[in-house]
Structure 1
């Protein structure tokens, strides 16, 4: 970075905002996937801009060494973005398993029906059972939370 006027620690920190932009945009997209809401256009644009910026900087760095220098310089950016997006795909897919949209749907539906039956008296009295109660009578903590959310949503309808 000294060639471009940056020296010392500031020269080493310059790539962080670009990589941070890629990270932040990906996190917004992941959050949208988890909440089942549309991805904000700004997140998509900034992700594309971050990828373009990091590739452009790396390619510019390798230009002085010919096509092989360009390829070698561009590779770390491609590898970072590619591996990070693969990780996001895995996380999004695993999240789908928690909301009942994967093969565990039958199990989730059965538990939801069972929970509605077990807690019918409380629901009739307009009381949603606590997580502790659901966990004690049916399942562990994560499943109890999902069941409580399901039961509470049924009460609001």
Structure 2
């Protein structure tokens, strides 16, 4: 019986997008920002497609509407998890001179993602994209 539990635990997929919280030193902050921008682009696309499907009552349109809503919510949630599980726990530190500003900007991304989840208006998706873009200066691409 123990082996089945172990096997099940190994086969259950991990949904953690953030890097582990062990101080291994293997980080790619820029890549995480790029991923969040891609998630935000998906939120924007979903919002646009939802607006196109609004008012249609055929089964296919309703099916597509549900799929776009689910995708919008999923990608906004990924942004929230990346900020909270990765950036706020590992990259934004009280020892930084601009800690309060960094904290506000990162929290602003979480708020924008929450609003994008809650609303079907494209302005919230645009605000999410802008909030994430506002973090790019903190996490430039490193050329190796």
Same fold (TM over 0.5): no
- Higher helix content, 1 or 2: 1
| More RCO (CA 8 Å, sep 6+) | 2
Q: Calculate the TM-score normalised by the size of structure 2.
A: 0.43
Larger radius of gyration: 1
